[in-house]
Structure 1
Amino acid sequence: MFFILSKVLHYFLMPFIWVLVLLLLAFFLKSLRWRKHCLTGAISILLLFSNPFLANEAWRTWEVKATPVSEVAHYDAAIILGGISSGSSSVPDRVHTRKGADRVLHPLQLYKLGKVNKFILSGGGATLLGKNPASEAEHLRELLLIAGVPTDSILLETESRNTRENATLTAALLQEHPELQKLLLVTSAYHMRRSSGCFAKAGLSTTSYSADFYADDRRFTPDELLIPSIHAFTNWHLLLHEVTGYLIYKLLGYS
């Protein structure tokens, strides 16, 4: 039930939906006063959420900062959370990744530098209807195998559907591997607050290693301060979804 509710909530947190609803109300309401309020609200949301500077400031505030590679110690294993790959029935002969592939590429760099011994890939299927033929963890394993990582250096957790399950099922898996004590947790910078809280709640001591950054350097240029950006507008949905998820997890005691 929690999984289904989280998927439904995903759509209610879209600023585009808010704008669409307000525009429809402005069109159908009989009260001229309320029609003006709805139209003003729609325009305000568009201007606010499409401003690149404000969006970047929000990302800079929320994301967990990067750790320089030179400061990373040696770890028994890097735990990599899914959410960045998918299968494709039309092009099934390769792994398909979305933005966020740095979750794999950055710890792979650490592995090549001798800073990580093994990988723990956590991720099942997160679709509301149906089931993926292969888990996300299996997709990511294919990428690591292509990069030359041996099979015995990769552990899989293939059943989780959300961050809480990433943590609890990975903790169960690690009970079978007591030799893996020093753990590096790798996920997107915006997702690290919720993830690290869940893993701590599951009894695992991990060190955070953020990847996949949305925040950028501050730029006080006209295009950043004044020109609306569709990318800024759409990315707000991701940030609102994550902040809401973090608060709900805190409220429910998941993190």
Structure 2
Amino acid sequence: MFYFFSKTLYYLLTPACWLFAGLLLAFFTKNAVLRQRLVGVTLALLYVFGNSFLVNELELWWEYPPTQIPTDSTKKVAVVLTGGIINGMKETPDDRVLLSREADRAGQALYLYKRGAVQKILISGGAGDLPFQRKSVNDEGHMAAKFLIMAGVRPNDIVLENKSRNTHENAVFSAAMLHRYFPASQYILVTSASHMRRAVACFQKEGVSVLPFPGAFVSSRRSFMPTEWLFPNEDSLARSYYLMKELVGYIMYKIVGYL
């Protein structure tokens, strides 16, 4: 039940949804004063969540900072969390792997493997589609593994955990596999920078100590150009949605005891 509500709740967190609701209420209300206030609130929401400077500042505050992993003699396993790595919404005439918004998660795991910082890669994530959603990827972990193998990772160095549907289950099922197959290794957690805080807390809750190695950064260097803070833009609206999703996800996980 928590899984269902946690996934459907995010549809109400989109700034675009809030803007639409504000304008819809303003359109149908007969009270002139209330209509003016609703329009004012909607304009304020558009400015805040569409403001590149403000959204970037929030991202810089929330995203986990870049880290380094030493290439020493300690055996290490990269634990890669799926969720947007593969684009399964587009059909192709061949067996190519199309990458999606979070593909940098796989890219950072590949980087660690190629430079010898990790020797094994555990890909965690199963099918998490809901009945009313359009089917995307049947097995994103398998497709991510296929991409890594095409990029030069040995098949024997990849382990799949394909039962988990959310971050909590990523930690639960991955913890069991890590303790079973790699008990004497260090664990490097690879996920997006905005998702890292919740992911680290989930793994710690399951008794797994991880070294964070974030990727898929959305924030950028600070810019004080007038265009960054004077006018809203659609890219910032999309970025603010993913930021709100992570903030609310962290709070909800805290409430139910997953962290």
Q: Following TM superposition, by how much is the alpha carbon of 1:102 offset from its aligned partner in structure 2, in angstroms?
A: 1.1
* Distance across 1 between alignment mates of 2:2 and 2:170: 15
- CA shift, 1:133, in A, is 6.3
The answer for unaligned runs of 5 or more in structure 1 is none
**Inter-CA distance 72–210: structure 2 relative to 1 (3 Å threshold):** farther
Measured after TM superposition, the shift of residue 72 of structure 1 is 6.1
Q: Which residue number in structure 1 is paired with residue 116 of structure 2? A: 114
Q: Give the equivalent residue in structure 2 for 1:87.
A: 88
The answer as to whether partners of 2:77 and 2:186 remain within 8 angstroms in 1 is yes
Distance 1:67 1:149, change over 3 A: same
1:88 Cα shift?
4.3
Q: Tell me which residue corresponds to 2:42.
A: 42
Residue equivalent to 1:194: 198
Residues 86 and 99 in structure 2, CA contact (< 8 A), matched pair in contact too: yes
Q: Specify the SS of the correspondent of 1:98.
A: coil
After superposing on structure 2, the runs of 4+ consecutive aligned residues of structure 1 that deviate more than 4 Å are 71-75, 130-133
Distance change (3 Å), C-alpha of 1:194 and 1:116: same
1:88-237 correspondence to structure 2 within 5 Å = 88=89, 90-91=91-92, 93-129=95-131, 134-237=138-241
Structure with greater strand share of residues: 1
Cα offset, 1:99, TM superposition: 1.5
Aligned length: 254
Relative to structure 1, the CA distance from residue 178 to residue 72 in structure 2 (aligned partners, 3 Å threshold; closer, same or farther) is closer
Distance 1:42 1:14 in 2: 13
Q: What amino acid maps onto 2:123 in structure 1? A: L
Flag the 1:180–1:105 CA change in 2: closer, same or farther, 3 A: farther
Relative to structure 1, the CA distance from residue 121 to residue 222 in structure 2 (aligned partners, 3 Å threshold; closer, same or farther) is: same
Residues 1:55 and 2:47 aligned together: no
Moved more, 58-67 or 82-91: 82-91
Matched to 1:238, the amino acid is Y
Task: Name the TM-score, length of structure 1 as normaliser.
Answer: 0.94
Report the Cα offset of residue 241 of structure 1. 0.8
Distance 1:154 1:115 in 2: 15
Q: Pairwise CA RMSD of aligned residues? A: 1.7
1:244 to 248, 252, 255: 248
> How far apart are 1:132 and its partner, in Å?
5.8
Moved more, 45-54 or 127-136: 127-136
Question: What stretches of structure 2 of length at least 5 have no aligned partner?
Answer: none
In 1: Cα distance, 2:232 partner to 2:90 partner: 36
1:67 aligns with 2:67: yes
Q: Is the 8 A contact 2:193 2:214 kept in 1?
A: yes
